Amino acid sequence: MEFDEFWENTKKLLARDIELETISRTKFKAGFDSTGGVIVVTPNSTNLPRDVSKGDFKKVYQKMRELKRKYEDIYRPALYQRITRNSSYILPIIKAVHTEGGKQKTLEKPET
């Protein structure tokens, strides 16, 4: 799946606010603001919303695709730092889109 299709799936998933958790178990809400065209992340600890632009989201997505070629489990904590230091909220969103419907759709290795 290419990024544009993945972005559309992300927007659909976040059309309703969902609650997710970072690798360090920090809970946050994520939703999509169609007016601004951004993902809005609100950590439960601060209740201060943060915007994630399509460009920032795309950078993390592309880095994850690169790492998937080298590593089996890209969601393990040690790899988070290799992706970006600001990815703590983006990665759970990507993972939620991947596993929507109970199976990974995008970053899994092709079946042989």
Query: For residue range 81-112, what is the model confidence (pLDDT) as tens digits?
Result: 556 555 667 777 777 777 764 443 333 444 44
Asked whether 97 and 63 are in contact (CB, 8 A), the reply is no
* Model pTM score: 0.73
Q: What is the pLDDT of residue 23?
A: 73
Say how many residues make up the chain: 112
Summarised one tens digit per residue, pLDDT across range 29-55 is 999 999 999 999 999 999 999 999 999
Task: Outline where DSSP puts E strands in the chain.
Answer: 18-21, 27-33, 38-43, 50-52
